[in-house]
């Protein structure tokens, strides 16, 4: 089996975990909540997570460019004369680069939103200013919300493709993005 390198596996799962947390905090504790003092802690955690995600995304792109990625061959049914590639596999070709792009844009737009709202000063530098009455007064907030929907759809396709390959096609697809067993034969 062709596996991703251990560094890349660590970066992938760290990104997945942080994106999940940023989403949860964004949806549960930020969206549609009053902009009072109680919002400062979840917002601070969200911003730190978002910046870590941005750094991890850049690190992943660098590691990927330096080390390449393992080849993945799409198995086609031998009996069928026509070379038919399942739609989910076809979509993955486009979705995988889009996942990087939209994760990056999401974090970049978050930073864009934090500039006119003095978010960094308020959250981390002890500024006396208060949060804006409504973040939606800033175009970046609308973009942040819209991009979050697109990112959710992309992540949904990514998970569906995994379920299809792992459980319906019976490949050890998860093993590609996990560490090789310490003992025994290396598979790549």
The yes or no reply on residue 23 touching ligand HEM (CB under 6 A) is: yes
Between 1 and 152, CB nearer to ligand HEM:
152
Measured between alpha carbons, how far is 74 from 90 in angstroms, rounded to an integer?
10
Residues 145-164 that bind ligand HEM (CB under 6 A): 145, 148
The yes or no reply on residue 48 touching ligand HEM (CB under 6 A) is: no
Measured between alpha carbons, how far is 57 from 80 in angstroms, rounded to an integer?
40
Pick one of 4, 11, 53, 56: the residue that binds ligand HEM (CB under 6 A): 53
**Which region, judged by CB under 6 A, interacts with ligand HEM, from 27-35, 59-67, 159-167, 178-186?**
27-35
Structural contact between residues 162 and 16, judged by C-beta atoms closer than 8 angstroms: no
**Which region, judged by CB under 6 A, interacts with ligand HEM, from 58-66, 139-147, 155-163, 175-183?**
139-147
**Which region, judged by CB under 6 A, interacts with ligand HEM, from 18-26, 66-74, 83-91, 163-171?**
18-26
CA angle 94, 154, 92 (to 5 degrees): 30
Measured between alpha carbons, how far is 103 from 50 in angstroms, rounded to an integer?
9
Exposure class string for 16-41: b at 16+ Cβ within 10 A, else e = eebbeebbebbeeebeeeebeeeeee
Between 86 and 132, CB nearer to ligand HEM:
132
Q: How many CB atoms lie under 10 A from the CB of residue 110?
A: 25
The yes or no reply on residue 114 touching ligand HEM (CB under 6 A) is: yes
Binding site for ligand HEM (CB under 6 A): 19, 22-23, 26-27, 30-31, 46-47, 50-51, 53, 103, 106-107, 110-111, 113-114, 135, 141, 144-145, 148
């Amino acid at each position: 089996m062709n596996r991703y390198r251990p560094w890349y596996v660590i970066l992938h799962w760290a990104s997945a975990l942080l994106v999940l947390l940023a989403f949860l905090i964004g949806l549960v504790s930020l969206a549609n909540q009053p902009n009072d003092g109680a919002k400062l802690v979840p917002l601070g955690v969200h911003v730190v997570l978002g910046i870590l995600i941005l750094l991890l995304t850049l690190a992943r792109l660098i590691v990927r460019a330096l080390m390449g990625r393992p080849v993945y061959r799409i198995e086609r049914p031998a009996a069928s004369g026509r070379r038919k590639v399942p739609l989910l596999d076809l979509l993955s070709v486009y979705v995988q680069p889009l996942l990087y792009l939209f994760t990056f844009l999401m974090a970049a737009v978050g930073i864009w939103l934090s500039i006119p709202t003095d978010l960094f000063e308020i959250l981390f530098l002890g500024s006396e200013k208060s949060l804006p009455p409504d973040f939606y007064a800033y175009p970046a907030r609308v973009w942040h919300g819209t991009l979050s929907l697109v990112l959710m759809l992309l992540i949904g396709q990514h998970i569906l493709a995994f379920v299809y390959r792992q459980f319906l096609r019976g490949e050890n697809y998860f093993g590609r993005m996990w560490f090789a067993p310490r003992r025994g034969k290396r598979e790549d």
